[in-house]
Structures are given as C-alpha cells and as structure tokens.
Amino acid sequence: MSEKLGKIADGLLHGKIDEVGELTQELINDGMDPEEILQKGLFAGMDVVGKKFRDCEMFIPEVLRSAKAMHAAMEKLRPVLSEESSSKAGTVIMVTVQGDLHDIGKNLAGMMMEGAGFNVIDMGIDRKTEDIVEMVKKEKPQILGLSALLTTTMPKMGEVINALKEAGIRDQVKVIVGGAPVTDDFAQEIGADAYAPNASIGTEKALELVKG
C-alpha cells in the first residue's frame, strides 16, 4: 500500500489527474487510514510541488495541473475524512466584489488553494455584499477570500467585513483580501485577517489561519 502512496506523491508532481484520483480511491478501498493518505501521499506530494515552485523548477501551468490532481484526490477523500482532518483542508469561498470584473488573480489563488487541499467555492465576479454574506451563512467556510482590482471597488471589501459583523458571523470566518491596488495597510484598516499579494502567499496565509 505504501508503494501506492509514493505513486500518489509522484503523480501529483507530474500532474497525473486521473491516476492520482484512482490511486486515492484504491487506497480508500484497501482500507488505509484517510489521514495517512492525506499526510503521506497528498500533502507529501504537494510539499515537493511547493518547493519546486519556489525554486523555479516548476511553473504555474505545472503547479496548476498538480493542484487539479490534488482536487481529484480530495473529492474522493473528503467524505471519509474525520472532522478534524477535514477542517485542516477546509472550505474557502473565493469572490470578486461588486462592480469588479477582474477574476484571473482570484481564480489562480483559488486553484492554488485547491492544491493545498481546500474545498474552494467560487462565487465568480461582481457579487453583491448581501450575496456574499448569505453564502458565508450557508456554506460556513473557514476562509473567505475577497478580490478587488480597482481602487473604485476596494471599499466593497470593507463593506463585506462590516456586513459580516452586522450579521454576527464575523468571528466564524477568516477573511483574506487580495488584488493589485490592495495593500497590507488597507487590509488592516478594513479589519481583514490577512493580505495576500499573490496566490502562493494567499495559500500560505489560508493554511496558517486554519491552523489557528
């Protein structure tokens, strides 16, 4: 069985989406502890991907293929994970705020988070504050990722945070903000939990925040 774990890690590295999904299912069927599959197969593989990306040995298209493979594996694994493990690979809502149509950065950040094992719900672009709050109530994510690329729509991020407070659910979700005109100062000003200048830091911050 441990040979299959190695194959999973290797499959992730080489972006073999179907193979990684199938191997994960096989291991579940073989009766392996889901926690072990997660730690020794999937996270082990993605750690190597992360390192290779930092060392410029892997580029975004390769990393995103790995992330897709991770996603395929998590689809199989999530239903059988214990509550504690599944919150480590919790849910993230990603959304571009109202009035803003930019989504490349948000999508990239979302895919990278899938690569880290998160279950990502993408709400798309130009979404009203009320809709975002409703979605948070409904899906109870660990993380809410807000994206804004315009100086004119940045204030909407603050509006969302205030609306979460008014709805009494601000302490139930961590908010990460990102986008070209956003700064660390701005993130602090509006009371966000973290600022992500790029997708990989976004993923790092998300992991830190769910660890608590």
Partner 1 sequence: MPKINQTIQTTPSFRVLSENQIEMIYSAALDVIQSTGARFHHEEALELFKNSEAVVTDGNLVRVPLSLVEKAIKCHPRKINLTGRTGKYKIKLEKDVVNFGTGSDLPFTYDRETGERRRTNYNDVVNAARIVDFLPNLDFFMSHGIVQDVPNPQVYDRHQFMAMLKGCTKPMVLTCVDGDGLKDLWKMASLFRGGEKEYRLEPLFVTYIEPISPLKNDKTAVEKLLFSAEKGIPCMYTPCPSSGATAPATMAGMLVQSLSETMMASVLTYLKNPGMPLIMGGVTTVLDMITTTYSYGAPELSLASAANTDISKWLGLPMFSTGGCTDSKVLDEQAAIESATSNFYAYLSGASLVHDVGYIDSGVNASLESLVMNDEIIGMIRQMGKGINTEDEYLALELIDKIGPGGEYLTSEHTLTHYKNWFQPRLQDRSDYETWVREGQKTMNDRIREETDRILKEHQPEPIDDKIQKELEQIIDAAEKRHSK
Can you give the binding site for ligand B1M, defined by CB under 6 A? 99-106, 108-109, 145, 147, 149-152, 176, 178-181, 196, 198-199, 202
Q: Which positions ≥6 away from 180 have C-beta within 8 Å?
A: 105, 149
Q: Scanning residues 7 to 26, which ones bind partner 1 (CB under 8 A)? A: none
> If we measure between CA atoms, which residue out of 178, 182, 169 comes closest to residue 204?
178
Q: Is 110 in the site for partner 1 (CB under 8 A)?
A: no
Which of 124, 138, 198, 208 is the binder for partner 1 (CB under 8 A)? 198
State the minimum distance, in angstroms, from the CB of residue 2 to partner 1.
34
Shortest CB 195 distance to ligand B1M, Å: 9
Closer residue to partner 1, CB minimum distance, 35 or 159: 159
What part of residues 31-70 is at the interface with partner 1 (CB under 8 A)?
56, 59-61
Q: Which does 100 bind (CB under 5 to 8 A by kind): partner 1, ligand B1M, none?
A: ligand B1M
Q: How far is the CB of 120 from partner 1 (least distance, A)?
A: 17
The correct pick among 151, 165, 166, 208 for binding partner 1 (CB under 8 A) is: 151
d(CA 17, CA 29): 19
Q: Does 188 bind partner 1 (CB under 8 A)?
A: no
Contact present, 71 and 122 (Cβ < 8 Å): no
DSSP 91-159: EEEEEEBTT----HHHHHHHHHHHHTT-EEEE--SSB-HHHHHHHHHHH--SEEEEE---TTTTHHHHH
Nearer to ligand B1M, 11 or 178 (CB): 178
* 8-state DSSP, 164: H
Q: What are phi and psi of 175, to 5 degrees?
A: -110, 125
Kindly report the backbone phi and psi dihedral angles of residue 134, in degrees, each rounded to the nearest multiple of 5, phi listed first. -60, -45
Nearer to partner 1, 2 or 188 (CB): 188
